[in-house]
Amino acid sequence: MFWFLRGIRRGVVTTRYPSRAEPAAAQLPTPPAFRAERLSVELVERLAAACPAGALRRDGPDLVLDLAGCTACGRCRDVGGEAVAASGEFELATRERAALVKRIPIGGGR
Amino acid sequence: MITAASIALVAAAALWLGAAAVGTLAERAAGLRAVTTVSALGGVAAVAGGTLTAIHETHATRTIGSANLVGAVTLRLDPLAAVFIALLGLIAIAIGLYAPRYHHPSRGTAWYLPVYNLALLASLGVLVAGNATFFLVAWESMTVFSYLVILRHHRREGVARAAFLFLALGEAGFVLIVAAFAIFAAHTGTLDLGLMAARSHTLSSGWRAGIFVLALLGFGFKAGLVPFHVWLPEAHPAAPADGSAFLSGLVIALGVFGISLFAFELLPGGPAWWGLLTLGLGALSAVVGVLYALMENDLKRFLAYSSIENIGIVLTALGAAMVFGAYHHPELEAFLLIAGLYQLVNHGVYKTLLFLETGVVEHTTGTREMNALGGLIHRLPATAVITLVGTLGIAALPPLNGFVSEWLIFQGLFQGFRIGNDLIGILIVIAGASLALTAGLAVMAFARGFGIPFLGMPRSRGAAHASERGQPIAGPGLLAASCVALGIGAPLVLTVLDRVAHATTGTDIKAHLLVPNLTVIPAHTGFSGFSPTYLAVYLVCIGIVPLLIYLAGRPRAASRTVPVWDGGILSFNARMQYTATTYANPIRVTFDEFYRPEFHVERASDDPAGRSGPVHYRFRVMPIFQRFLYAPLVRAVEWCADFVRPIQSGDVNLYLLYIFICVIIAYLIYPY
Amino acid sequence: MTEEQRLAARLQERALALFRRSLHIRTFDSGSCAVCESEIRLLSSPYYDLHRLGFFFTPAPRHADLLLVSGPAVRAAEPALLKTLEAIPEPRIVVAVGACALGTIFTEDELVHGSVDAVIPVDVYIPGCPPSPLALLHGLLVAVGRLEEKVQSLRFDLREELPA
């Protein structure tokens, strides 16, 4: 009898998010995450120039990533090589705009 | 016999004659008010006289001068005529209250008011006439004075032609009426109406049929029966508003009076086909009238076609009454006679109201064109409310008067199954179906007739700047109150009309018409029932409960008032609304074969690149009767006239030859 | 917190409690490229199925609880946006969706305001270009308080091994 229920369950395509993680979410394009110790000022300048949306910039000793502007195009990953990877984070909603601006210290530290 | 009723009617006549005599005073404002007040008082007297006669079922005659002399005048009091007299009085009161603020004191008004009062007097004469000559003289006077009423603004374009059309078709009808009376008088040997009625059974059925058909067609010209209606849409816009009200409320009712006079009093007991003929013409008029009404953008032409429709409904009821009478159902005959008279009185009331208000609209906005009006409910609030009452009445919505009378007519028609003959039953069902179509289209027509001018946004500067200051309210207000009273007070009205029906047909159906608790039943118990009085009370009561709930449960928190959600567009303008033409477009498309409209579209260029200029669109309904009935007749008459014109050559010698030939012929045939 | 702020917080909690499992959403496009709109439309598809969460789209702002705005607040759409917000009865939530609405793509000039919060107050921001329907679902659930915000605690700073 339970094969009947199993078959029905298999035919349901609706995602179970948010009660269960959605496996297909791993394929979503997402903003970059950085290996801070591999960053250098020169690399950061090149990353900022490569970002078409202007979401990456250097502010003093930090790389500033504005998540609001990131289109997840991946060009910073092409330029940055091993210093940049996809973060896999897509749950980025917030009540405060300022929380979307992330600072990563160049060269690590802190 | 002097009764209170006869005193009242003499008073009415005297007051109207007096108003006519001093009408020249109307050149000044005080004189204008005096003349119209006297006229209104005459109306009060007429209402009193008519109602008393109807209630007491008085039949009385009085002859002035020797009975056998041609110039003798016989007056009679008759309950059937009394209903019309009461209607005449009510209309006279309303117009008397309306006229001082509508007309300006001037020389034109100074001759118009006497003529109008003489028209009232002549109408009264038609209704109290006791012998054929007096009837015909009064009828013709009424026609002539109404013609002069239409000519009030004779210098305006189209007025003279419209008045001429009224007179010409009125005379055509008059010829047939004279013929009917002449044949009748010749065969019964008397001119007195009462004696004619008593002796009518001595005529052969062929002559009776001929007289009835002549009377139906002759009075049909005046009543606006299709296809004799073509004067109505022309004459009503040409006349001043109170003149149109008088024409529509009373003059066409006199046509119906003439038909019912012949059908129920002078030639009673006719065969069924008379009733079927009347029924058929009535149903045709009703449907044609409302279909044309939906295509009219001029308010007065629209109301004129609506009058044609209502008269059609009345004549359907009277025709069905005749059919039931012929098949020996006297209670249904009396019932439908009551229903028809009720519908006619209601029509007189609300049509007069609507025409008077159209006059107010025309004076305040400067136009009668529906496509140029709009938003008048804000600028003319009292007028809008009164017009709404009249519109609800004419669209036959409960609990007003139109609903009651149309319900009665439908209930009477639904009982056609009581006649054994299947064919007649089917014909009555077809008539009932036509009336149902008419009723539905009438609701749409009047939603358009009230909605487009009064609701929405003004479509022209005249409509945007209308003001109600100085406009007449009392006269139309009285008629609006009458609409409500005639609806809610239906049991009272039906009691009076039952007396009239009893006097006319000899059947008293009070017991089968009104059961004691204010409920109306259509002549047979167990068929259906309805109480307008209870309905009105109920409607008020069901409004109280939501009101109490609202008052008790009103939110106490502060609320925020914002404009109506309009989709977020920047601004509304009047051109975004429905126009009168587009509102009625579904009907135009459905009945395209009937209207056969002509379209005329002009644009700057057909080349797609050049299409940015304005597009002009003109649309005209084909006037079927004018083109296919009257125009050929007129052409035929003109052809005959051309044919005989050479006789009148202008040559004196030829005329002398004619005289000579005639003298010779006279000498030759004289000995024989 | 002052008394007023305490009351406001309680009111906000109460309002969010009302919207938890039943929310009517009105979308507004203030000049976007319509890709955010397609992602929003996908929320009604069987795969994401907004209705199972109790959320519905409504065409009339009078019936709406939440206004979902995309696009950089083009000046031509400003009167319509203001009228729409005014037509939504309180309590209401405003959510800005997409990079354009958050102000990073366009700067303010004579044609465009640049960001939605230059015109109307915004409660929740959902970044992305476009935000995927899952991100939108997360954002809506954050707006009604069924999920907690996550981005505050994320650092986008990898100290361990890079993922494949």
Going from the N-terminus, what domains does chain C have, and what CATH number goes with each? 22-144 (3.40.50.12280)
Helix %, strand %, coil % of chain A (to 5): 35, 20, 45
Q: Record the tokens describing residue B27, joined without a space.
A: 């050149």
C-alpha–C-alpha distance, residues B74 and B128, integer Å: 8
Q: Are A and B touching by the rule of 3+ CB pairs within 8 Å?
A: no
Q: Looking at the complex, does the CB of residue C103 fall below 8 Å from at least one CB of chain B?
A: no
For residue B568, what is the nearest residue in chain C, using CA coordinates? C80
In a domain, A18, yes or no: no
Q: Looking at the complex, does the CB of residue C35 fall below 8 Å from at least one CB of chain A?
A: no
Rg, chain A, Cα only: 19
pLDDT tens digit sequence for B138-187: 999 999 999 999 999 988 899 999 999 999 999 999 999 999 999 999 99
Strand ranges of the sheet holding C66-70, from the earlier edge strand across to the other edge: C55-57, C23-29, C66-70, C93-97, C124-126
Q: Which residues pair with B61 in a beta bridge?
A: B76
C-alpha–C-alpha distance, residues B465 and B191, integer Å: 58
* Chains in contact with A, where contact requires at least 3 CB pairs less than 8 Å apart: C
Mean pLDDT of B271-297: 94
Question: Is there a contact between A67 and C127 if contact means CB atoms under 8 Å apart?
Answer: yes
Measure A36 CA to nearest chain C CA, in Å.
6
The more confident residue out of B313 and B624 is B313
pLDDT tens digit sequence for B464-493: 898 888 889 999 999 999 999 999 888 888
In a domain, A70, yes or no: yes
- Outline where DSSP puts E strands in C23-153: 23-29, 55-57, 66-70, 93-97, 124-126
Question: Is there a contact between A55 and C104 if contact means CB atoms under 8 Å apart?
Answer: yes
Question: Is 80 exceeded by the pLDDT of residue B611?
Answer: no
Residues in A touching C127 (Cβ below 8 Å)? 67-70, 92-93, 100
**Which residue range is the domain that position A63 belongs to?**
28-105
Q: Record the tokens describing residue B37, joined without a space.
A: 């007040």
Q: Per this entry, what is the length of chain C? A: 164
Residue B206 zone, left/alpha/beta (φ > 0; ψ -120 to 50; rest) = alpha
Question: Is there a contact between C87 and B562 if contact means CB atoms under 8 Å apart?
Answer: yes
The angle formed by the CA atoms of residues B384, B388 and B390, to the nearest 5 degrees, is 120
pLDDT tens digit sequence for B390-437: 999 999 988 899 999 999 999 999 988 888 888 999 999 999 999 999
In a domain, A60, yes or no: yes
Question: How confident is residue B646, by pLDDT bands cut at 50, 70 and 90?
Answer: confident
Q: Looking at the complex, does the CB of residue A91 fall below 8 Å from at least one CB of chain C?
A: yes
Alpha carbon B32 to its chain's center? 27
Residue B619 is predicted with a pLDDT of: 82
Question: Is there a contact between C87 and B570 if contact means CB atoms under 8 Å apart?
Answer: no
Residue A101 is predicted with a pLDDT of: 92
Question: Is there a contact between B565 and C80 if contact means CB atoms under 8 Å apart?
Answer: no
Question: Is 50 exceeded by the pLDDT of residue C162?
Answer: no
User: Do B173 and B217 form a contact (C-beta atoms < 8 A)?
Assistant: yes
Question: How confident is residue C164, by pLDDT bands cut at 50, 70 and 90?
Answer: very low
Provide the domain count of chain A: 1
Of C46, C102, C154, the CB nearest to A14: C46
Question: Is there a contact between A66 and C147 if contact means CB atoms under 8 Å apart?
Answer: no
CA atoms within 13 A on the CB side of B165: 22
Residues 56-85 of A with CB under 8 A from C: 65-72, 82, 85
User: Do B99 and B36 form a contact (C-beta atoms < 8 A)?
Assistant: yes
Continuous H helices in B417-531: 422-454, 461-464, 474-488, 490-505
Residue B566 is predicted with a pLDDT of: 84
Mean pLDDT of C135-159: 89
Q: Are A and C touching by the rule of 3+ CB pairs within 8 Å?
A: yes
Please report, for the domain that includes residue A62, its CATH number: 3.30.70.3270
Question: How confident is residue B262, by pLDDT bands cut at 50, 70 and 90?
Answer: very high
Residue B357 is predicted with a pLDDT of: 95
User: Do B588 and B295 form a contact (C-beta atoms < 8 A)?
Assistant: yes
Question: How confident is residue C64, by pLDDT bands cut at 50, 70 and 90?
Answer: very high
Residues in C touching A85 (Cβ below 8 Å)? 158, 162-163
Burial (Cβ within 10 Å: 0-12, 13-18, ≥19) of residue B179: middle
C-alpha–C-alpha distance, residues A96 and C100, integer Å: 16
User: Do B262 and B294 form a contact (C-beta atoms < 8 A)?
Assistant: no
Question: Is there a contact between A102 and C156 if contact means CB atoms under 8 Å apart?
Answer: yes
Residues in B touching C86 (Cβ below 8 Å)? 562
Best mutation target among C29, C85, C86 (most B Cβ atoms within 10 Å) is C86
Q: Record the tokens describing residue B671, joined without a space.
A: 């000995």
| Helices and strands per DSSP (H, E), number in chain B | 28, 6
Mean pLDDT of C8-20: 84
pLDDT per 10-residue tile (average), chain A, 110 residues: 82 87 90 88 91 90 91 91 88 92 80
Residues in C touching B568 (Cβ below 8 Å)? 79-81, 83-84
Burial (Cβ within 10 Å: 0-12, 13-18, ≥19) of residue B470: exposed
C-alpha–C-alpha distance, residues B557 and B547, integer Å: 19
Alpha carbon B633 to its chain's center? 26
C-alpha–C-alpha distance, residues B196 and B378, integer Å: 57
Residues in C touching B561 (Cβ below 8 Å)? none
Mean pLDDT (chain C, rounded): 90
Beta-strand relationship, A62-66 and A56-59:
antiparallel
pTM for the model stands at 0.82
Residues in A touching C137 (Cβ below 8 Å)? 17-18
Residue C132 zone, left/alpha/beta (φ > 0; ψ -120 to 50; rest) = beta
Q: Looking at the complex, does the CB of residue B570 fall below 8 Å from at least one CB of chain C?
A: yes
User: Do B371 and B580 form a contact (C-beta atoms < 8 A)?
Assistant: yes
Measure C145 CA to nearest chain A CA, in Å.
11
C-alpha–C-alpha distance, residues B229 and B308, integer Å: 7
B52 Cβ partners below 8 Å, 6+ apart? B3, B4, B5, B8, B58, B82
Best mutation target among B565, B570, B571 (most C Cβ atoms within 10 Å) is B565
Measure B558 CA to nearest chain C CA, in Å.
12
Single out the residue of B49, B57, B118 nearest to residue B84, CA to CA: B49
pLDDT tens digit sequence for B16-73: 988 888 877 777 888 888 888 888 999 999 998 888 888 887 787 777 766 566 667 8
pLDDT tens digit sequence for A34-48: 988 888 889 999 999
Give me the total of CB pairs closer than 8 Å, taking one residue from chain B and one from chain C.
19
Residue B603 is predicted with a pLDDT of: 78
Measure A60 CA to nearest chain C CA, in Å.
17
Residues in C touching B566 (Cβ below 8 Å)? 83
Instruction: Indicate the domain borders of chain B.
Output: 133-139+149-370+382-528, 577-620, 626-669
Residues 253-312 of B with CB under 8 A from C: none
Mean pLDDT (chain B, rounded): 89
Angstrom CA distances, B243 to B34, B109, B248, stand at 19, 12, 8
Q: Looking at the complex, does the CB of residue B560 fall below 8 Å from at least one CB of chain C?
A: yes
Question: Is 80 exceeded by the pLDDT of residue B605?
Answer: no
Residues 63-82 of C with CB under 8 A from B: 79-81
Residue B390 is predicted with a pLDDT of: 95
* Chains in contact with C, where contact requires at least 3 CB pairs less than 8 Å apart: A, B
Residues in A touching C144 (Cβ below 8 Å)? none
Share of chain B above pLDDT 90, in %: 52
In a domain, A6, yes or no: no
For residue C82, what is the nearest residue in chain B, using CA coordinates? B568
pLDDT tens digit sequence for C74-118: 999 999 999 999 999 988 999 999 999 998 899 999 999 999 999
C-alpha–C-alpha distance, residues B670 and C9, integer Å: 123
Q: Looking at the complex, does the CB of residue A21 fall below 8 Å from at least one CB of chain C?
A: no
Residues in C touching A31 (Cβ below 8 Å)? 156
Of B562, B569, B570, the CB nearest to C86: B562
C-alpha–C-alpha distance, residues B416 and B333, integer Å: 11
C-alpha–C-alpha distance, residues B560 and B580, integer Å: 36
Q: ipTM of the predicted structure?
A: 0.88
User: Do A29 and A86 form a contact (C-beta atoms < 8 A)?
Assistant: yes
Q: Record the tokens describing residue B513, joined without a space.
A: 């018409």
Single out the residue of B171, B250, B265, B254 nearest to residue B211, CA to CA: B265
C-alpha–C-alpha distance, residues B97 and B471, integer Å: 11
Beta-strand relationship, C66-70 and C23-29:
parallel
Q: Record the tokens describing residue B222, joined without a space.
A: 């005046």
User: Do C161 and A38 form a contact (C-beta atoms < 8 A)?
Assistant: no
In a domain, A1, yes or no: no
Burial (Cβ within 10 Å: 0-12, 13-18, ≥19) of residue B559: exposed
Burial (Cβ within 10 Å: 0-12, 13-18, ≥19) of residue B283: buried
Q: Which residues pair with C97 in a beta bridge?
A: C70, C126
pLDDT tens digit sequence for B652-662: 999 999 999 99
Question: Is there a contact between B568 and C80 if contact means CB atoms under 8 Å apart?
Answer: yes
C-alpha–C-alpha distance, residues C77 and C82, integer Å: 9
Q: Looking at the complex, does the CB of residue A26 fall below 8 Å from at least one CB of chain C?
A: no
Question: Is there a contact between C80 and B560 if contact means CB atoms under 8 Å apart?
Answer: no
